[in-house]
């Protein structure tokens, strides 16, 4: 068994296992038990090791260990917030946008994020595609010439075995109308030892390929994370990040700045910052949209524009992502556009 496979086999999935590693009060144990009755827990030993004991505000703890707040479901929250199933023409595919689609080979992840937007389904073994279902999904893609990009997501596609990944990528590479492939994965954060030289070789054979990670806090940028990123970058595969704006975790300027610096320095381009979706039981993670807009406004101009992600709200019901942000255009008067600079100075720009 390789190191990453041992990590997966030794994931912490019960409160009893967790209590052997982390100090928990009786009340916490009872609460975790209740929550895990509804939403799965799974924490890789590596990710658990990043938790600072005795710190209730530890950002890793908040993302990994269930909280009783998860049992509070608000009326605006949805089981399937992004309408993945509504836009699914066939098992394993969501086809929401004209030129790209999502393919879910598995719903297993190395660790289950407490803020997961697919919490209704992650970890369900019965949802992993069988070889027959995979063949049908590939067939669907073959028949849709308008699809230029397939995004492997889940779950986490990189928890599959090397051979399964190689087979799937190999089949997709043969489809001539696909221009490039993309993989959404959190193993860089929760299981960085998964990025083995052998896996990198497989990924390299599927170029042009983009990897999109999911880092939310500077504490997740460890030497192991950086090594995993370097291996992939050295193979000529770009790495981007989609983070989630999380209350009490990264919704302050200091933390967000450090996160964006840390990512850029590691060679990871901050791509999107997501407003927390309307998934059930995660309202305690959700900030206001105004908080997010204000946060990015305080960074624009003060840190490199290259390090600033686009703030996105994924519209409830599956209608697609909407970019949101501060409006620097103050007025249009004929050909004169009044602009506000990052320092608040108002200037006019005259169009031809
Ligand atoms: S890695 Fe992604 S799919 Fe898996 S639990 Fe976290 S947010 Fe959900």
Catalytic residue ranges = 96-97, 100, 109, 113, 116, 118, 277, 314, 321
Report which protein residue has its CA nearest ligand 1's atom 6: 113
pLDDT digits (tens, 9 = 90+) for 176-229: 999 999 999 999 999 999 999 999 999 999 999 999 999 999 999 999 999 999
User: 316 falls in which pLDDT band (50, 70, 90)?
Assistant: very high
Q: Give the three-state DSSP class for 136.
A: helix
- What is the Å distance from ligand 1's center to 116 Cα? 5
Per-residue confidence (pLDDT) for residue 8, from 0 to 100? 97
**Token duo for residue 4:** 């990453």
- Three-class DSSP labels, 84-114: CCCCCCECCEEEEECCEEEECCCCCCCCCCC
281-304 burial, b for 16+ CB within 10 Å, e for fewer? bbbbbbbeeeebbebbbbbeeebe
Distances from the Cα of 79 to the Cα of 25, 36, 114, 163, angstroms: 31, 16, 15, 33
- 321-323 and 93-97: which strand pairing? unpaired
Question: How would residue 103 be classed by pLDDT, with cut points 50, 70 and 90?
Answer: very high
Q: How far apart are CA 154 and CA 286, in angstroms?
A: 22
pLDDT at residue 126, as a whole number:
87
Pocket of ligand 1 contains residue 184 by CB under 6 Å: no
Q: Which two tokens stand for residue 310?
A: 């686009």
Neighbours of 147 (CB within 10 A): 21
- Mean pLDDT, range 3-28, rounded to an integer: 96
Q: Taking the domains of the chain in order of start, what are their residue ranges?
A: 3-237
Given a contact cutoff of 8 angstroms between Cβ atoms, the answer to whether 108 and 154 are in contact is: yes
- Mean pLDDT for 23-49 is 97
Whole-angstrom distance, CA of residue 237 vs CA of residue 258: 24
CA distance 307 to 302: 11
Q: Confidence class of residue 54 from pLDDT cuts 50, 70 and 90?
A: confident
- Residues of the chain above pLDDT 70, percent: 100
Grade residue 1 by pLDDT with cuts at 50, 70 and 90: confident
pLDDT reading at 156 higher than 90:
yes
Q: Give the pLDDT confidence score for residue 277 in this predicted structure.
A: 97
Q: Say yes or no: CB of residue 219 within 6 Å of ligand 1.
A: no
Segment 22-38 shows an average pLDDT of 96
> In residues, how long is the chain?
352
Mean pLDDT of 103-114: 97
Q: What is the mean pLDDT of the chain?
A: 97
- Asked if the bond preceding 348 is cis, omega within 30° of 0, the reply is no
Whether 2 has a pLDDT exceeding 90, the answer reads: no
Q: How far is the CA of 97 from the centre of ligand 1 (A)?
A: 21
Please give the Cα distance from 316 to 301 (Å, whole number): 31
* CA distance linking residue 102 with residue 105, whole number of Å: 10
Statement: residue 336 has pLDDT above 90: yes
DSSP designation for 111: S
The mean pLDDT of 240-265, rounded to a whole number, is 98
Q: Class assignment of domain 3-237?
A: alpha beta
Question: Could you give the 3-state DSSP secondary structure of residue 270?
Answer: strand
CA 39 to centroid of chain Cα atoms? 18
pLDDT score, position 171: 98
pLDDT at 11: 97
Q: Which of 11, 155, 241, 279 to mutate to test the pocket of ligand 1 (most atoms within 8 A of CB)?
A: 155
């Amino acid at each position: 068994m390789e190191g990453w496979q041992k990590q997966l086999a030794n994931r912490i999935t019960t409160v009893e296992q967790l209590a052997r590693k982390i100090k928990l009060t009786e009340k916490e144990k009872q609460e975790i038990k209740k929550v895990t009755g509804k939403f799965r827990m799974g924490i890789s030993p590596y990710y658990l090791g990043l938790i600072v004991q005795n710190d209730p505000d530890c950002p890793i703890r908040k993302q990994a260990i269930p909280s009783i707040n998860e049992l509070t479901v608000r009326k605006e929250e949805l089981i399937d917030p992004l309408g993945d199933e509504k836009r699914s023409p066939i098992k394993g595919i969501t086809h929401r946008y004209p030129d790209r689609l999502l393919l879910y080979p598995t719903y297993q992840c190395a660790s289950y994020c407490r803020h997961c937007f697919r919490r209704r389904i992650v970890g369900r073994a019965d949802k992993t595609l069988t070889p027959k279902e995979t063949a049908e999904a590939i067939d669907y893609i073959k028949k849709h010439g308008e699809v230029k990009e397939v995004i492997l997501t889940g779950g986490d596609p990189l928890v599959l075995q090397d051979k399964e990944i190689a087979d799937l990528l190999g089949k997709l590479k043969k489809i001539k109308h696909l221009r490039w492939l993309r993989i959404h994965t959190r193993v860089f954060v929760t299981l960085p030892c998964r990025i083995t030289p052998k896996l990198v070789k497989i990924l390299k054979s599927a170029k042009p390929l983009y990897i999109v990670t999911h880092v939310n806090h500077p504490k997740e940028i460890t030497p192991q994370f950086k090594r995993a990123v370097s291996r992939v970058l050295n193979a000529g595969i770009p790495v981007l990040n989609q983070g989630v704006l999380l209350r009490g975790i990264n919704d302050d300027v200091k933390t967000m700045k450090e996160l964006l610096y840390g990512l850029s320095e590691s060679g990871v381009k901050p791509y999107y910052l997501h407003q927390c979706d309307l998934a059930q039981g995660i309202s305690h993670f959700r900030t206001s949209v105004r908080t997010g807009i204000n946060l990015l406004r305080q960074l624009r101009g003060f840190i490199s524009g290259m390090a600033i992600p686009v703030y996105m709200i994924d519209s409830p019901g599956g209608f697609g992502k909407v970019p949101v942000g501060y409006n620097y255009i103050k007025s249009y008067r004929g050909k004169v556009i009044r602009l506000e600079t990052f320092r608040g100075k108002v200037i006019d720009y005259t169009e031809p």
